[in-house]
Amino acid sequence: MEKSKVLDSLGIQDVNFGATTGGSNGWIQTKGKELVSTSPIDGQPIARVIMADRRAYDSVMEKATAAFASFRMMPAPKRGEIIREIADVLREKKEALGTLVAMEAGKIKAEGLGEVQEMIDIADFAVGLSRQLYGLTMHSERPMHRMYEQWHPLGIVGVITAFNFPVAVWSWNALVAGVCGDAVLFKPSSKTPLTAVAIQNIIAPVVDKYGIEGIFNLVIGSREDVGEPMLHDKRIPLISATGSTAMGKHVGEVVGGRLGRTLLELGGNNAIIVTEDADMDMAIRATLFGAVGTAGQRCTSTRRIIVHSSVKEKFVNALVNAYKQVKIGNPLDESTLMGPLIDGRAVSDMENALAAVQEQGGKILYGGGTLTLEGLEDGFYVKPAIVEAENQYPVVQEETFAPILYIIEYDTYDQALAFHNNVPQGLSSAVFTSSVHYQETFLSHMGSDCGIANVNIGTSGAEIGGAFGGEKETGGGRESGSDAWKIYMRRQTNTINWGRDLPLAQGIEFNISGE
């Protein structure tokens, strides 16, 4: 699809307002600063957004607070019907929205379309979930008493997202929170504001049909006008934030200071262990996608390969050959496998990391450096790098959001596991092996310390059915599938005495004679 057709299809104008309470009439004529969305493909502007000011933020919050009061009374299956219709309109706009993701975030179109499919999948999951918000019944220790727990809507959920998954992460939070009966306040990355505007335009007919303005809200704005007010706002009981560990620490400190909840999806430093008996072809293909996909700008991107010394040379030679076949270029071209980095700062971060690893003793085996492509001279293109390094190098301990892959050699499996876990982050992990012993050890309490641990599958590309998230400096939160819905609700334990006596728990007696 041509750029103009994509923008027209999604209701994107040359100038867009950055705040809405949802629906076709919910847009607020904001008076904040102008934000230009620039495509990393060619460095050219796509469209502009007038960001929300503090007045617009307060207006949206007032509407969201009122909307939640009525939305929580709607039966959950009815809320599920709304999410089902959102899935339908996403299906209709999949091609256009997936293309816009590629244009604005720089990921290849296949990944952009895959991200929209992820939105559709999580919507389908949420529809089923709307009839499965189960509590438990428990046996009371007191006679003629019944105990159970139930789950109630929580309130307004603040969702702060990163540029690399500009639409999918919104859906993980907003659509699950929606069936749970919550309102959502969405603050997208300032690097990808147009995809957020497009989401609101896509779901507007559903919002109008069901009269739920104020449930799916958007506020695009600065840290001062929107970000910090969200963190300090006691009307928002949960902040779900995706981004760097440094950002997450600030979010956790501020929200924790008011005893609010946080769901943090932060940095990853994901590794694949390649054992001496691994299927090399599978390991190479998984590494290639994990390290090069989205130009290494996924939180689940493969950043370290911990490979057995006996197969290291064979593995590296095959990997270098595979890297040479990766076509780098315009992500809208179907033959492209790797698009640009998001901006010039990302390019500088990669260059600085490569300089640092060499200073610390590492050796670049392949790649590195920038690329100037014909017709895309102002884009942010780099060669993915393969670097021989030691796990303890300071730069290896950090997450560099770029396609740098560190090769780390090991001799014993215990050594491999020690290398694997000896980083501050704990998101995704994998082992490629034919050994049941290695496999089961990796998945046991003695193995990977990450929130996601895979066998003969790469670190990137999680399915929506499982809970997504990590440990340590990755934040400890869980989103998407399994029972991740519980973070968006409040648990209540109920006890009913249907007898005529008043026994106390633990056998305590507290009698009054009455004389």
Q: What residues are annotated to the active site?
A: 265, 299
**413 vs 416: CA distance, rounded Å:** 5
- What count of Cα atoms within 13 Å lies in the side-chain half-sphere of residue 512? 3
Are 472 and 450 a contacting pair, CB within 8 Å? Answer: no
**468 vs 480: CA distance, rounded Å:** 6
**How many residues are given for the chain?**
515
AA letter at 171: S
3-state secondary structure of 266: coil
* Residue whose tokens read 């600063």: 33
* Residue whose tokens read 């438990």: 136
* Residue whose tokens read 């994901």: 270
3-state secondary structure of 12: coil
End-to-end alpha carbon distance in the chain: 88
3-state secondary structure of 406: strand
* Residue whose tokens read 């919910």: 26
AA letter at 242: T
Q: What is the dihedral of CA 153, 156, 162, 166, to 10 degrees?
A: 70
DSSP 371: E
Classify strands 363-366 and 385-388 as parallel, antiparallel or unpaired. antiparallel
Are 41 and 103 a contacting pair, CB within 8 Å? Answer: yes
C-alpha 246: how far from chain center: 16
Are 84 and 129 a contacting pair, CB within 8 Å? Answer: no
DSSP-assigned letters across all residues of 92-108: HTHHHHHHHHHHHH---
